[in-house]
Chains A and B, each alone.
Chain A
Amino acid sequence: MSVGGGGLLKYMGKRAVDRIAVVLSSLTLQFLLLRVLPYYVLGIDPSFFFLNPNLTEAQRELIRKQFGLDESLASQFVKYVLSLFTGNMGFSFYTRRPVFSELMERLPNTVLLLGTATVLTIIIGLIVGIIAVSKRGTRFDASIIGSSIFVSAFPHFYVGLLLLLIFGFYLRWFPIAGTISRPPPRDPVIYVADLLRHMALPLITLLITGIGGFALFIRNLFLTQLGEDYVLTARAKGLNEREVMVRHVLRNVLAPVINILALEFPGIISGAVIVETVFSWYGVGRWLFQAATQFDYPVVQAVLFIQVALTVVSLYIADLIIALIDPRVRLR
């Protein structure tokens, strides 16, 4: 009665249905929150926010029509879902430019900042966490726990503003805003250096607030597993510490780690709303914040949709990997 591939296929099929349901329900929720609630329930007419108040009613009507706001809710919903799935994200209410091309302008900056931050957070957090757990119970471990809790309790915006004040305003080591100097340097080497100088403070902010929590997570994960009896059995068999870690513990901690990584990954695309806003970083996160405050629905929808879709896809891949590692999962 060992578990074969049939169990895996069935399991992944079930998960796929679950995940599609998640996407559809979150799309519906987004539609309700962004399209129905403000305009039809609260009576907020988005045209007020971006139109010249001196326009005539006929002109306003024309513009609403352009954006499809005159159609029935049902047809708006169908159009909305279809366009998202076909990759057509519509036009920004605010700039009238295609959402897709605006996204592509910002995406490299976000991927650069968040990608670096995520990879560094994971690597440093992993190392710190494993060092802490291998020295568990010592003062070193205790101080890592203490400082991790301390730094991860700081809100992003507070750390960001503090760094801006000290290193940007008083010490003037780093620029206080933006992604690149104006006008951008011509020489490619200077360009990269300039970009990195702008990136330093937001990156440090993300690292400070991210590493502590991740290191603690890793430490506790390993600690729980190291306390399990099978670890003692493995040691008693005569395996050395490295073999115990690699052959026994790693397989058991892998599942939660993969889950966390799967949840981190979409952030590389959808950005960090608060940090990007604090540092005026020309990225997707700040764009989302601006769009939300300007009632620029197509942009908000596009970013949220990308976030949902990426989360679902990366979690699905995580499910598959976990099911391959842990036979118990397939039976659920």
Chain B
Amino acid sequence: MLLQVEGLKMYYEILGKGLVHAVDDVFFSLDKGETLGVVGESGCGKSSLAISILRLLPINGKILGGRVLLDGVDILNMDLEKFRKEIRWKRISIVFQGAMNALNPVLRVGDQIAEAIMLHSDVSKKEAMKRVISLLEMVGIDGSRAKGYPFEFSGGMRQRVMIAMALALNPQILIADEPTTALDVIVQAQILKLIKNIQRRLELSVILISHDISMVSELSDKLAIMYAGQIVELGDMVDVYLNPLHPYTKALLSSVPSIKMKRRLLKSIPGAPPNLLQPPKGCRFHPRCPFKADLCEEEEPEFVSVSKDHFVRCHRFEELRGVEFK
């Protein structure tokens, strides 16, 4: 296994209010060349999960438990200086919502990419710029644009620049955190296609984070559904899509229209996501779950294995097999 996340726990400390349970007991693994889609609504901890893996937490973000193994080595407890030099960007890189501000507005894009190259490898500025130009051309941008500033690029092109930058050091894992949010639909499709092509060509492992389950499932081999800081269901993409076990997964799928299936009314999930300062007792989804039993209010369900690659965090998934969300 290339990457294994085991019981990762990351809380934000809010002065005078307590702890925000942003990432709570998260498990997943990622193989070489595999794409994991992480889906959940805003504030469920998806981005917190991404920045926890790269240890890019704000001052009040505290990792309180768990392990992250990269090729069997725990990178969570690695010396930060070593982690910064050997892991960040070199082995795990990240693409943020680039359409807005992920690039420094006052530096030329070529210099920003070259900076990453020169930081991690011993090359001259000239050689680095050569690599920059070939990277830009790989993502479909003319090499001469390396001299341009971010404000001279459109949102979609900026995202291409971000992707080129993320690939600068041939990392093993690319985390794409909402890579197409704030882009229009056509550009979205182009960016996704680009990620897909590059991923195949470079045998890259990708963690694709989004709130858009249908977009994610187009690219992913595996799907992780996140709710209130926890992964509630994890499995092979087709398996999760066709046989969802967790009520929340079922709810998400029934809120998305499909052009292939029978015409039906879309369903919404009643209620709102919980305040992660005080997550609900028991199962975190129980206040919104139509199937909740007494047990769900009392006891937190375990993340259990259903089959070899399919995991779910629900007390009643057995009884609810095949039952639709309503």
Chain A: residues with CB nearer than 8 A to chain B?
1-3, 135-139, 142, 228-230, 232-240, 247-248, 251-252, 325-328
Contact = CB atoms under 8 A, between A and B. Distances in A.
B104 A238 contact: no
Given A2-B149, A328-B149, A233 B103 contact: yes
B172 interface: no
B54 A142 contact: no
A233 B102 contact: yes
Contact of A236 (B15, B60, B88, B97): B88
25 contacts: A1-B152, A2-B147, A2-B148, A2-B149, A135-B59, A138-B15, A228-B101, A229-B97, A230-B103, A230-B105, A233-B94, A233-B103, A235-B88, A236-B54, A236-B89, A236-B93, A236-B94, A238-B85, A238-B88, A238-B90, A238-B120, A252-B106, A325-B106, A328-B106, A328-B151
B107 A1 contact: no
A235 B96 CA distance: 12
Interface string B135-163: 00000000000011101100000000010
A3 B151 CA distance: 11
A230 B90 contact: no
B36 to A, nearest CB: 19
Closest 7 CB pairs of A and B: A238-B88, A230-B104, A229-B101, A229-B102, A237-B116, A2-B147, A238-B89
A238 B116 contact: yes
A327 to B, nearest CB: 5
Contacts of B165: 233, 237
A235 B88 CA distance: 8
Nearest to B168: A237
Contacts of B194: none
Interface in B89-136: 89-90, 93-94, 96-97, 100-108, 115-116, 119-120
Interface of B is mostly: loop
Given A138-B59, A229-B101, A232-B56, 11 more contacts: A2-B152, A230-B102, A230-B103, A232-B51, A233-B96, A236-B54, A236-B93, A239-B115, A239-B119, A252-B105, A328-B105
Contacts of A138: 15, 59
Contacts of A137: 15, 59-60
A228 B107 CA distance: 15
Interface string B72-94: 00000000010011001110011
Interface centre among B115, B148, B162 (most CB of A within 10 A): B115
A17 B21 CA distance: 57
A240 B103 CA distance: 17
Interface string B3-28: 00000000000010000000000000
A51 to B, nearest CB: 61
Interface string B41-68: 0000000000100101001100000000
Contacts of B107: 248, 251
Interface centre among A3, A232, A251 (most CB of B within 10 A): A232
Contacts of A3: 149
Contacts of B102: 229-230, 232-233
B106 A251 contact: yes
B105 A237 contact: no
B96 A229 contact: yes
A229 B107 CA distance: 14
B96 to A, nearest CB: 5
A239 B89 CA distance: 10
